[in-house]
């Protein structure tokens, strides 16, 4: 497992640079109204449908949720993109004994209310049109190991174009409760309900 | 109503620009070939979620149908009509008497087997995530007037990023069997086609 070697000034520069890149690539990045619980760290569970997802996580952490970003990445991906290690990237290797170590490491980070950990709970890239969100069992293990107050947030990013030739990203955020207070099966059910709500809200979104 | 105009040079410039733009902004366009009758014009009925729809289907036409492209656009569109009318764009003004003229004009274009007319019967832009596709009744005026002499093809476009920085547009196509159609039958068949296409799109896992 590769732990994060987050350097605050590098992370700040990267967040600003990525906002510039994203504003160039997207017509609008619209974050739906959401209030994070003060004094809580955040476990940000995101839908994984694109190359951009990690950057959406970074964007949310820095500009909207105001926490220090840490992001769980596949081991081979982090090895190839080693620079992300300095922006908060740490690795996980599915199906190995080290996986447990990565989950415990993520839980440890969430003991600090200043931190935010981005996890893609589906564990693979799935269609942006998918109506079901499968959550890997490892998330349960991660949550059980969190000792400090931690809010679980589901982020569903949906892409639409409407009147622009550039895509717009609509980020729907949902509060899934506090770690330790929501049983895993309920969490999975709630995330699926939230995901369906995001899809419904997207149809009605103003453009 | 603004009719499409002919000018070989401007048409060539527009075509080259659109092809380059689609190539630049999209990782790839994915579509399966469908059986088409080379002796009949094509009425293409598609979902409408962005300004890209016409441009993407223009490229599909270039690669697959190889017909003379025409598309009906709203008169209040932001596209520069003085220019795009040379690329096959003609306009419609909803809720006016002029609308019937536009629909009859579209049907008239379908007398020539070399032509393809693209219609977005939803009438306005909707999210790419819609479940229900509702048509405006005007589409039937074109379908009825064109009758059996044209072939109707359904198109449903979905955009996905997946592992690439630029998106991939997947276009599902289906030929509608010839024969008389009512408005309800047309809407139901398109809905079924759209649901099947969306189900295929949703299954993608990498």
Position B79 pLDDT exceeds 90: no
Residue A155's pLDDT is 95
Q: Would residue B66 be called left, alpha or beta, if left means φ above 0 and alpha means ψ between -120 and 50 degrees?
A: left
Neighbours of A160 (CB within 10 A): 25
Q: Which residues of chain A have a pLDDT value below 70?
A: none
Position B78 pLDDT exceeds 90: no
Residue B206's pLDDT is 67
Tokens of B125: 């832009």
How far apart are the C-alpha atoms of B57 and B155, rounded to whole Å? 9
In the three-class reduction of DSSP (H, G, I as helix; E, B as strand; rest coil), residue A203 is classed as: helix
In the three-class reduction of DSSP (H, G, I as helix; E, B as strand; rest coil), residue A92 is classed as: strand
How far apart are the C-alpha atoms of A21 and A15, rounded to whole Å? 10
Range of the domain at A87: 8-204
State the pTM of this model.
Answer: 0.88
- Asked if residue A200 belongs to a domain, the reply is yes
Instruction: Using CA coordinates, name the residue in chain A closest to B21.
Output: A165
For A127, the closest of B52, B160, B165 (CB atoms) is B160
Q: What is the pLDDT of residues B7-42, one digit of tens each?
A: 889 989 999 999 999 999 999 999 988 989 989 999
How far apart are the C-alpha atoms of A29 and A160, rounded to whole Å? 11
Query: A187: which residues sit within 8 A by CB, 6+ positions away?
Result: A135, A139, A143, A152, A176, A177
- Asked if residue A169 belongs to a domain, the reply is yes
Q: What is the pLDDT of residues B83-125, one digit of tens each?
A: 888 888 999 888 788 889 999 999 999 999 999 999 999 988 8
What are the φ and ψ backbone dihedral angles of B87, each rounded to 5 degrees? Answer: -100, 10
Residues of A in contact with B170 (CB under 8 A): none
Cβ-based interface (< 8 Å): residues of A facing B: 49-52, 124-131, 158-165, 167, 199, 202-203, 205, 207
Residues of A in contact with B198 (CB under 8 A): 129
B30 contacts chain A (CB < 8 A): no
Provide the number of structural domains found in chain A: 1
Tokens of A106: 């993520």
Tokens of B137: 């009744």
B20 contacts chain A (CB < 8 A): no
How far apart are the C-alpha atoms of B155 and B47, rounded to whole Å? 7
Question: Tell me, what CATH number does A123's domain have?
Answer: 3.40.1130.10
| Pairwise CB contact (< 8 Å): B201 & A129 | yes
Instruction: Using CA coordinates, name the residue in chain B closest to A129.
Output: B202
Contact between A191 and A172 under an 8 Å Cβ cutoff? The reply is no
Residue B85's pLDDT is 85
| Pairwise CB contact (< 8 Å): B160 & A128 | yes
Neighbours of B99 (CB within 10 A): 17
Give, in order, the Cα–Cα distances in Å from A129 to each of A133, A195, B198: 11, 11, 8
User: Rounded mean pLDDT of B55-73?
Assistant: 94
C-alpha torsion angle, residues A10, A13, A19, A20 (rounded to 10): -130
How far apart are the C-alpha atoms of A74 and A91, rounded to whole Å? 5
DSSP annotation of B205: B
Q: Could you give the domains of chain B?
A: 8-202 (3.40.1130.10)
The whole-angstrom distance between residue A146's C-alpha and the CA centroid of its chain comes to 17
Residue A173's pLDDT is 95
Residue A39's pLDDT is 94
Contact between B172 and B193 under an 8 Å Cβ cutoff? The reply is yes
- Asked if residue A3 belongs to a domain, the reply is no
- Asked if residue A2 belongs to a domain, the reply is no
Residues of A in contact with B165 (CB under 8 A): 51-52
B77 contacts chain A (CB < 8 A): no
- What share of chain B in percent tops pLDDT 70? 99
- Asked if residue A1 belongs to a domain, the reply is no
Position B57 pLDDT exceeds 80: yes
How far apart are the C-alpha atoms of B89 and B82, rounded to whole Å? 10
Q: What is the pLDDT of residues B192-202, one digit of tens each?
A: 999 999 999 88
| Pairwise CB contact (< 8 Å): A203 & B125 | no
């Amino acid at each position: 497992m590769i732990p994060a070697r987050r350097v605050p000034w590098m992370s700040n520069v990267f967040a600003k640079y990525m906002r510039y890149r994203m504003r160039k690539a997207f017509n609008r990045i619209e974050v739906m109204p959401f209030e994070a619980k003060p004094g809580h760290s955040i476990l940000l569970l995101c839908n994984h449908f694109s190359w951009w997802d990690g950057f959406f996580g970074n964007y949310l952490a820095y500009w909207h949720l105001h926490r220090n970003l840490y992001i769980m990445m596949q081991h081979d991906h982090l090895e190839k993109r080693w620079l992300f290690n300095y922006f908060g990237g740490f690795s996980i290797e599915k199906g190995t004994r080290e996986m447990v170590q990565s989950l415990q490491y993520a839980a440890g980070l969430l003991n600090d209310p200043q931190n935010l950990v981005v996890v893609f709970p589906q564990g693979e890239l799935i269609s942006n049109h998918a109506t079901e969100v499968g959550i890997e069992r490892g998330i349960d293990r991660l949550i059980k190991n969190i000792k400090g107050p931690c809010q679980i947030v589901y982020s569903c990013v949906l892409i639409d174009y409407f009147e622009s030739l550039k895509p717009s990203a609509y980020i729907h955020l949902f509060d899934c409760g506090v770690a330790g207070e929501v049983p895993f099966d309920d969490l999975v059910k709630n995330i699926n309900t939230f995901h369906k709500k995001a899809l419904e809200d997207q149809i009605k979104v103003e453009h | 109503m603004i009719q499409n105009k002919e000018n070989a040079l401007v048409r060539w410039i527009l075509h080259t620009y659109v092809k380059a733009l689609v190539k630049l902004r999209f990782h790839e366009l994915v579509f399966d070939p469908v059986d088409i009758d080379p002796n009949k014009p094509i009425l293409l009925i598609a979902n409408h979620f962005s300004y890209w729809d016409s441009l993407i289907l223009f490229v599909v036409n270039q690669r697959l149908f190889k017909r003379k492209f025409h598309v009906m656009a709203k008169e209040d569109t932001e596209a520069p009509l003085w220019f795009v009318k040379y690329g096959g764009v003609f306009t419609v003004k909803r809720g006016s008497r002029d609308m019937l003229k536009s629909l009859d004009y579209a049907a008239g274009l379908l007398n020539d087997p070399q032509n393809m007319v693209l219609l977005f019967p939803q009438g306005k832009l909707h999210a790419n995530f819609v479940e229900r596709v509702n048509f405006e009744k005007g589409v039937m005026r074109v379908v009825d007037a064109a009758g059996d002499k044209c072939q109707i093809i359904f198109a449903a476009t979905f955009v996905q990023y997946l592992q690439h920085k630029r998106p991939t547009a997947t276009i599902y196509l289906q030929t509608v069997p010839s024969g008389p159609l009512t408005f309800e039958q047309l809407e139901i068949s398109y809905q079924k086609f759209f649901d099947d296409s969306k189900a295929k799109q949703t299954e993608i896992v990498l």
